[in-house]
A = this chain, B = another copy of it.
């Protein structure tokens, strides 16, 4: 399932090269996955309120084109499982149909003591694909 979010590049996001600083794209990935949770009818805040946390264990980004001040960027986020206990979000950052950057983050599920857990059932269901067929009723 794909979710979409939009951000506008701030002055504070740019650097002296006149383009968005490479480290800021990871913040925009966060915007993307936040919106992904919301598109499933929940929120990451809600996940945390159940005592679960999803820290990032790996992050990667490939930069295709510079992003400039005041650009509107669309973050397209998809999800796929990645082994037993790992989640993987993939992100395309687009501007007017052009790919600006592409990347992923890998997450585990931990409790408030930072102990890694098997993903709880409610989370697995959340992360499982919604049938997209005729009868499909998304949670959005």
Residues of chain B contacted by A69 (CB below 8 angstroms): 16, 45, 48
Is there a chain B Cβ closer than 8 Å to A56's Cβ?
yes
Q: Mark A41-60, 1 if CB is under 8 A from B, else 0.
A: 00111001000010111111
B17 touches A12 (CB 8 A): no
Select one of B16, B57, B60, B70 contacting A60, CB under 8 A: B60
Residues of chain B contacted by A44 (CB below 8 angstroms): 11, 70
Select one of B12, B26, B57 contacting A30, CB under 8 A: B12
B70 touches A17 (CB 8 A): no
Query: Considering the complex, which residues of chain A in the window 1-49 have a beta carbon less than 8 Å from any beta carbon of chain B?
Result: 8, 10-12, 14-19, 21-24, 26-27, 30-31, 34, 43-45, 48
Select one of B15, B66, B68 contacting A12, CB under 8 A: B15
Complex Cα gap A23–B31 (Å): 12
A15 touches B14 (CB 8 A): yes
